[in-house]
Amino acid sequence: MLSANAKPYIDASVPVLREHGLAITTVFYKNMLTAHPELKNLFNLGNQANGSQQQSLASAVFAYAANIENAAALAPVIERIVHKHASIGIKPSHYPIVGRYLLGAIKEVLGDAATTNLIAAWDEAYWLLAGELIAAEARLYQTAGFEADSWMKLIVVDKVQQGADIVSFTLQPADHQALPNFKPGQYVSVATYLDDLQLRQLRQYSLSDAPSKNSLRISVKCEKGDEFRPEGKVSNWLHQHVHIGDILDVSHPYGNFTPDILASHPIGLISAGVGFTPMISMLNSLADENPNRPVLFAHAARSKQHLSHWQDVNLAKVAMPYLHHALYLNECHEKEDGVTIGKMNLSDVLSPASQANLFQAESNEAEFYICGPQAFMDDQWKTLLELGISPTKIHREVFGPESLSHLI
């Protein structure tokens, strides 16, 4: 627990972090990665370049300061961070480095306002959080049966173009060892060495098929970049250079965006774009293990050419009598059954007149899982709340750095 001496200084930091948080985290990353270039192997340099990593950390630091004694609010955020850390191999030895440069950045940005007492309070708060993360990561490694920074050598046994910009890779152990089990909705990290950067880079990809198939499947969107965003170095490399027979370094599965597949209450799987991938893992698992469960599968895409894994949805429709699917396309020139042109509107899908009205009868029990771009998820979250769905029944997953403010 934070000491009585430190608490007033942390409380006073909330408005300061609102104003200077991004500047602090920008200085933090710059100074730390300059002094420890080996850590560039752990950080996504694309997210460094576009500023999203700095913004994410600023949001996390602010959320921590604002809720430092609210364990219930911080618990889901900490769990999410712990899984992410485990997926990239964070070790206890990394925490003193991070602490040193985070406190140094606070001093550098705030100048004379960073008094000795303020820095001492943040040193105490940082190590409270670090200790909690280190302990939670150790428990996760122990439960999973893996050591920190352990990687599997997996061979690519299938490579399939899934729509205009997504390729799926099916992976099996190169040494014929058993694969770890995973929960639908989890992800793995893929480690690649990029010659042009002279760096090892890590990226997380959701597993896009059900467990218990003696293989792992990931589906990778090629991020082409534009004037506002750099291209995806790793996704382009995987699309262009990885073929059947190649071997990849892959982490064990992690992530807490994991529904109870065997439960009986209705479940809504809501996605857009490449957010489709964890939902396909969930849907295929439901088809295998609980086909009579009421399921709403709603997806939004740019066009039919940008759909991926729709064959999985068609197979699930055969196996699942209470599956209702809704497809939204921004670009569609001819009306088709089951297709709506334009933005997703869950109010229509979940209205009493809808085919998905079973959700109305059991709306207090239904759970919803949302994955896609931040703006899309915010829209669906707002709509579900307006429909009377409890926020405790709505779960979200974001690819890449995320603003943690909506989780607190």
CB 164 within 8 A of CB 305: yes
CA–CA distance, 222 with 237 (Å, rounded to integer): 9
Per DSSP, helices labelled H in 36-155 are 45-50, 52-66, 71-88, 94-110, 116-144
CA–CA distance, 280 with 275 (Å, rounded to integer): 9
Strands 367-371, 339-341: parallel, antiparallel or unpaired by DSSP? Answer: unpaired
Please choose, from the candidates 68, 40, 386, the residue with its C-alpha nearest in 3D space to the C-alpha of residue 199.
40
Rounded to a whole number of angstroms, the distance between the first and last alpha carbons of the chain is 19
Torsion of CA 251, 255, 261, 263, to 10 degrees: 150
What's at 147, amino acid-wise?
A: E
Count of alpha carbons within 13 angstroms of residue 137, beta-carbon side = 24
Catalytic residue, chosen from 101, 126, 137, 328, is 137
Please choose, from the candidates 333, 351, 287, 342, the residue with its C-alpha nearest in 3D space to the C-alpha of residue 313.
287
Count of alpha carbons within 13 angstroms of residue 91, beta-carbon side = 8
Catalytic residue, chosen from 95, 124, 289, 365, is 95
Please choose, from the candidates 292, 264, 296, 263, the residue with its C-alpha nearest in 3D space to the C-alpha of residue 279.
296
Count of alpha carbons within 13 angstroms of residue 392, beta-carbon side = 4
Scan for tokens 């769905």, then name that residue. Answer: 389
Please choose, from the candidates 335, 341, 359, the residue with its C-alpha nearest in 3D space to the C-alpha of residue 349.
359
The set of residues, in sequence order, having a beta carbon less than 8 Å from that of 329 and lying 6+ positions away, is 300, 301, 302, 303, 304, 339, 340, 341
How many other CB atoms sit within 10 Å of the CB of residue 348? 12
Instruction: Specify whether 137 is catalytic.
Output: yes
Count of alpha carbons within 13 angstroms of residue 92, beta-carbon side = 11
Residues identified as active-site: 95, 137
